[in-house]
Amino acid sequence: MYNWKEVLNQVNEALAAMPFGRKPAELYAPIRYVLSLGGKRIRPVLMLMAYNLYKEDVGTISSQALAIEIYHNYTLLHDDLMDKADMRRGMPTVHKKWNDNAAILSGDSMLVMAYQYMMKDCPAGKVADVMGLFTETALEIGEGQQYDIEFETRSDVTEDEYIEMIRLKTSVLLACALKIGAVLADAPVRDADRLYRFGESLGLAFQLQDDYLDVYGDPAVFGKKVGGDILCNKKTYMLINALAKARDDDKAALEEWLAKPEGTYAPEEKIRAVTELYNKIGIRELCDRKIRYYFDQAREILAQVDLPDSRKAFLWDMAQSLLGRKA
Amino acid sequence: MYNWKEVLNQVNEALAAMPFGRKPAELYAPIRYVLSLGGKRIRPVLMLMAYNLYKEDVGTISSQALAIEIYHNYTLLHDDLMDKADMRRGMPTVHKKWNDNAAILSGDSMLVMAYQYMMKDCPAGKVADVMGLFTETALEIGEGQQYDIEFETRSDVTEDEYIEMIRLKTSVLLACALKIGAVLADAPVRDADRLYRFGESLGLAFQLQDDYLDVYGDPAVFGKKVGGDILCNKKTYMLINALAKARDDDKAALEEWLAKPEGTYAPEEKIRAVTELYNKIGIRELCDRKIRYYFDQAREILAQVDLPDSRKAFLWDMAQSLLGRKA
């Protein structure tokens, strides 16, 4: 069995060995670029670790592991274009480094490559299950992105709607990665489904933690500037609950900050003020409890997977590491 | 056996019956919209007709036929966005009717849906062949689109490069449609390959005819305004050859027209002048001969398919109808 750092090394080696011989070179340059920017490679690592719960020869499914990472990076590429984001992982995004059309077209080819790698050497008896799940997941992720876009212009987003959006946009891909790994390893159907639900809960905890760290993270560890969501009024778990729970003066103060035109205040001033309002309304504890809720849920579901705890230790270790928590 | 008009009716019925129950509705509205705009449905019709060479139950592969039409319309949707085209089939394009992000995201979901339909009820023993060919074709089409974009800013595109670009951008999808139909009907491998090459030649003739009709077409029949390619200096087969073959005064006159800034002339004036230069240099006959060359090639390849001529009559009838020619 491999721990998650060993698996991560295998994923990075497989990524580095990906052939890029097709032409025209200009089409594939942005694809190489985004895949070379690094990242935690969470999805392929989860897939290989789920497979490794049952089988040792994780190299057998390295095409499928690459597929899910190519797919994930395609979503980042197109989402960054849609969000007009200039930077990703400290480097210019594809539409900034090249142009919008390069981002559209090379992203499209990445999605096709994801299917290419997912199909490659996939056992005939499993193709329908694997491709069916991957395709359903890709549709759900598009739906999650659409909700995310729609929420930007809505002021009445509920907590439930938000959780469903992040489930679609983030969680189902973690779940899909785990289940494909399990299916390819001939896991019992019930346990493959449990691993799917483990991924869903883990993904929800992970995305909520991202919201939380945007406000309360240590900038040195978080990797992004703290307060970005506050500055652009992003309807995160924090803001949605703050708006729902704030009363009287606090509510008025929060709404005033949301309505203030950019440029009429110093950014740090808005970040500090909104963070203080969150603290006062109890949003920090609320979000922390919700993360813990999904984290515990993930642990309980993993406990139901019919394998000895020792066999599941590396996977749980990775989950804890992802969330920076101990259970 | 069905003639191509009967097959076209079946395709249109299957398209009209496609369920659109998923949410959010805003994501799927542009998809319904582009699929409802009509068109000749050439690719699904070719797929079903190739299948019908061998088997009668064409309804068995209606998912795959829908898949290829969904795929084709996704390429139009994203190409129109990249080309900033306002209209398609007399109606506003998705990025005009909605916005750029809707065009990106709903196009992406269409590509996933194309895979969904291509997988659906695909016999286990054929999934690898069908999905492999479809995926290779989708990569090639992206490559063709990239060449098309690159050619816009190059002044030294050769005829061979142009033919390869339209082969990738247009022909391989017709070829893929035909071969998938044949494979699903258990056609002999050699004949499935011949049908692929038939589609390639037919596609080249078809695309060259599109170039030709942009200059010499009857506007009432062509369906687009004549002269559009001339006005935007599009490097078609006509222009590439005119630049290569023009001498002295003709060459100078042609280059002068290409260099003239928009707004300094009446559009009809440029269309008339460039068309007259084409006529003088012999481009009309050259293009007509080249269309005939690929049309004859298609006929010869189809003749090699090991079936009685009577069995292939409907397919050849469709090819002739597509090109408005009799062999």
Q: What is the pLDDT of residues B46-57, one digit of tens each?
A: 999 999 999 999
Q: What span, in angstroms and rounded, lies between the C-alpha atoms of B85 and B73?
A: 14
Q: Which two tokens stand for residue B106?
A: 């709903």
Query: What was the pLDDT predicted at B6?
Result: 97
Q: What span, in angstroms and rounded, lies between the C-alpha atoms of A155 and A162?
A: 12
Query: What was the pLDDT predicted at A222?
Result: 66
ipTM: 0.97
Q: What span, in angstroms and rounded, lies between the C-alpha atoms of B304 and A1?
A: 56
pLDDT tens for chain A, 327 residues: list them: 999 999 999 999 999 999 999 999 999 999 999 999 999 999 999 999 999 999 999 999 999 999 999 999 999 999 999 999 999 999 999 999 999 999 999 999 999 999 999 999 999 999 999 999 999 999 999 999 999 999 999 989 999 999 999 999 999 999 999 999 999 999 999 999 999 999 999 999 999 999 999 999 987 776 677 899 999 999 999 999 999 999 999 999 999 999 999 999 999 999 999 999 999 999 999 999 999 999 999 999 999 999 999 999 999 999 999 998 776
Of the partner residues A27, A104, A138, the one whose CB lies closest to the CB of residue B78? A104
Are residues B135 and A116, on separate chains, in Cβ contact within 8 Å?
Answer: yes
Which residue shows structure tokens 């598009």?
A: A142
Q: Which two tokens stand for residue B305?
A: 């398919």
Q: Is B324 on the interface with A (CB under 8 A)?
A: no
Question: B242-250: long-range contacts (C-beta < 8 A, 24 or more apart)?
Answer: B242/B277, B242/B278, B242/B281, B242/B283, B243/B155, B244/B158, B244/B159, B245/B281, B245/B282, B245/B283, B245/B286, B246/B277, B246/B281, B250/B277, B250/B280, B250/B281
Question: Shortest Cα distance from A281 to chain B (angstroms)?
Answer: 32
**Residue A41 burial (10 A CB sphere; 0-12, 13-18, 19+):** buried
CA distances from B36 to A112, B5, B13 (A): 25, 18, 11
Would you say A53 and A307 are in contact if contact means Cβ atoms under 8 Å apart? yes
> DSSP alpha helices (H): ranges in chain A?
4-16, 25-35, 42-52, 62-83, 94-97, 100-119, 127-152, 159-166, 172-184, 189-216, 219-222, 228-231, 237-245, 248-259, 267-281, 283-304, 309-323
Hey, which residues does B88 pair with through a beta bridge?
Answer: B91
Query: What was the pLDDT predicted at B313?
Result: 98
Q: Which residues on A lie below 8 Å from B116 (Cβ)?
A: 135-136, 139
The size of the A-B interface in CB pairs under 8 A is 106
Q: Which residues on B lie below 8 Å from A125 (Cβ)?
A: 124
**Amino acid symbol at B59:** G
Would you say B238 and B261 are in contact if contact means Cβ atoms under 8 Å apart? no
Per the document, the length of chain B is: 327
Largest CA distance in chain B: 63
Per the document, the length of chain A is: 327
Q: Which residues on B lie below 8 Å from A143 (Cβ)?
A: 22-24, 27, 109
In angstroms, what is the C-alpha Rg of chain B? 20
What are phi and psi for residue A91, nearest 5 degrees? -125, 155
Q: Which two tokens stand for residue A145?
A: 């992105």
- Beta strand pairing status for A91-92 and A87-88? antiparallel
Q: Specify the 3-state DSSP secondary structure of A36.
A: coil
Would you say A54 and A182 are in contact if contact means Cβ atoms under 8 Å apart? yes
Nearest Cα neighbor of B32 from B23, B43, B41, B19 is B19
CA dihedral A100→A106→A110→A113, nearest 10 degrees, is 160
Would you say A170 and A177 are in contact if contact means Cβ atoms under 8 Å apart? no
Annotate A150-186 with b (16+ C-beta within 10 A) or e (fewer): ebeeeeebeeeebbebbbbbbbbbbbbbbbbbbbbbe
Question: Shortest Cα distance from B98 to chain A (angstroms)?
Answer: 13
Query: What was the pLDDT predicted at B222?
Result: 66
What are phi and psi for residue B87, nearest 5 degrees? -130, 150
Would you say A322 and A202 are in contact if contact means Cβ atoms under 8 Å apart? yes
CA distances from B52 to A88, B13, B113, B122, B184 (A): 50, 18, 25, 17, 10
Q: Specify the 3-state DSSP secondary structure of B260.
A: coil
A100-119 vs A127-152: helix axis angle to the nearest 10? 150
Minimum Cα–Cα distance from A141: chain B residue? B109
How much of chain B, in percent, has pLDDT values that exceed 90?
A: 96
pLDDT tens for chain B, 327 residues: list them: 999 999 999 999 999 999 999 999 999 999 999 999 999 999 999 999 999 999 999 999 999 999 999 999 999 999 999 999 999 999 999 999 999 999 999 999 999 999 999 999 999 999 999 999 999 999 999 999 999 999 999 989 999 999 999 999 999 999 999 999 999 999 999 999 999 999 999 999 999 999 999 999 987 776 677 899 999 999 999 999 999 999 999 999 999 999 999 999 999 999 999 999 999 999 999 999 999 999 999 999 999 999 999 999 999 999 999 998 776
Q: What span, in angstroms and rounded, lies between the C-alpha atoms of B169 and A8?
A: 38
Nearest Cα neighbor of B210 from B221, B200, B199 is B221
Full-prediction pTM beyond 0.80? Answer: yes
Q: Is A12 on the interface with B (CB under 8 A)?
A: no
Would you say B89 and B33 are in contact if contact means Cβ atoms under 8 Å apart? no
Residue A234 has a CB neighbour count (10 Å cut-off) of 16
**Amino acid symbol at A290:** K
Q: Is A161 on the interface with B (CB under 8 A)?
A: no
Residues near A17 by beta carbon (within 8 Å), at least 6 away in sequence: none
Are residues B24 and A113, on separate chains, in Cβ contact within 8 Å?
Answer: no
Are residues B116 and A135, on separate chains, in Cβ contact within 8 Å?
Answer: yes
Question: Shortest Cα distance from A316 to chain B (angstroms)?
Answer: 32
Nearest Cα neighbor of B151 from B138, B136, B139, B163 is B163
Residue A325 has a CB neighbour count (10 Å cut-off) of 13
Helix, strand and coil percent figures for chain B, each rounded to 5: 75, 0, 25
DSSP B171: I
Would you say A61 and A51 are in contact if contact means Cβ atoms under 8 Å apart? yes
CA B247 centroid distance within chain: 33
Q: Which residues on B lie below 8 Å from A128 (Cβ)?
A: 119, 124, 127
